[in-house]
Amino acid sequence: MKIGIVGCAGRMGRMLIAEVLATDGCSLAGGTEQPGSPALGQDVAALTGAEPAGLPVGADTDDLFAASDVVIDFTVPAAAPVHAAAAMRHGVALVVGTTGFVAVQQAALEAAAAETAVVQAANMSVGVNLLLGLTRQVAGILDPGYDIEIVEMHHRHKVDAPSGTALALGEAAADGRGVDLATVSQRVRDGHTGARRTGDIGFATLRGGDLAGEHTVVFAADGERVELTHKASSRAVFARGAVRAALWTEGRAPGLYSMRDVLGFD
């Protein structure tokens, strides 16, 4: 499969290029960057230190989608409508690892999914998706006497909080308990807050250093505590999952899929 990378000169973009080059069954179709980027015109493969592939970094989204079987997007939420529209025009599958979408941006992805295969996930890591399943299962087993807190830490450059993965873990916990996360979510504690409300799902956000991502779901009751943790030491795990998802889209019917679909989790 020919895989294109939007935002190819960024940290995740370079990881994705390296993973495509190292993976059997796929080839690099090209990459794009924003107008004015110093990477424009450079060889896409050479951005990772690999041998040049004869593919200059471009700024034309349509050119990239026309040359690709599937495009991977780890850019920014504002770019989603542009990439979704290009996927529809060219009948190209789309793998989206970006988080923090507002309603209109999410709607653009869902519109594209009516025409082509779209895989969207808050986290492409196999381990994180296992953690999501375990969180849902444990939340369904333990009674509301177990308080649920989700703690996440990322590098200093991350712009959204809580992380998309933390929110997905909150959704998994709420689903396991049969409640709506919006009604039980507690994201801010400051000052004299009073006692913790029974049934709340709390979030704590830490930022610093160059951490790729750490997430812990805490189930705390009187006398004991259960913790489920995933730690990513390299962004390569996200790139590996994204390329796996890209290969999975071959021959898929249009639809909005998740990494649970890709990995075959029940």
154 is catalytic: yes
If one counts every other C-beta atom within 10 angstroms of the C-beta of residue 230, the result is 22
Rounded distance between C-alpha atoms, residue 55 and residue 33, angstroms:
13
215 is catalytic: no
Alpha helical stretches, state H, the chain: 11-22, 61-67, 80-90, 103-113, 126-141, 164-177, 181-184, 236-248, 259-263
Task: Provide the token pair at 92.
Answer: 């190209």
* DSSP 8-class letter at 46: G
Sign for the CA dihedral angle at 168, 174, 177, 180 comes to negative
Judge if the upstream peptide bond of residue 38 is cis by omega within 30 degrees of 0.
Answer: no
CA distances from 32 to 1, 49, 67, 132, 245 (A): 18, 17, 12, 32, 20
Which residue among 2, 83, 157, 158 is the active-site one? 158
Task: Provide the token pair at 103.
Answer: 């309603």
The 3-state secondary structure of 175-228 reads HHHCCCHHHHEECCCCCCCCCCCCCCEEEEEEECCCCCEEEEEEEEECCEEEEE
Which residue among 83, 90, 154, 215 is the active-site one? 154
Rounded distance between C-alpha atoms, residue 129 and residue 121, angstroms:
9
Residues annotated as catalytic (active site), given as ranges: 154, 158
